[in-house]
Amino acid sequence: MSDTCLNCGMPVEGKYCSNCGQSTEEHTINFHFLWHDVQHGLFHFDKGILFTVKELFTRPGHSIREYIRGKRVQYFKPVSLVLILAAVYAFYFITST
């Protein structure tokens, strides 16, 4: 962890740069890092989708109200979720017929 942001050079306190938002954690580029990058870049699956699907099945009103009121960090983004579920359904529909 560095005292200055490696992206913009601003002084940093905490886990993220308050200027550009880059994480202050420096990861070595290895297989784990690359796999995480693929997950994050292509699917944004690193957190939220399973939690969001579980919440939508078990407490749909509660989770939607929480999201609307601003508690969004733990939830998957709704438009991305709809697109992924549509792609899963399309894949299922194509392969089952």
The binding site for Zn ion (CB under 5 A) comprises: 5, 7-8, 17, 19-20, 22
Q: Which C-beta is closer to Zn ion: that of 21 or that of 78?
A: 21
Q: Which of 57, 37, 48, 38 is nearest to 81 (CA)?
A: 48
Burial of 76 by CB count in 10 Å (0-12 exposed, 13-18 middle, 19+ buried)? buried
For residue 13, the minimal CB distance to Zn ion (Å) is 12
Nearest-approach distance from CB 8 to Zn ion, in angstroms: 3
For residues 80 and 44, the answer to whether their CB atoms sit within 8 Å is yes
Q: Of the two residues 2 and 19, which places its CB atom closer to Zn ion in the complex?
A: 19
CB of 3 to Zn ion, least distance (A): 12
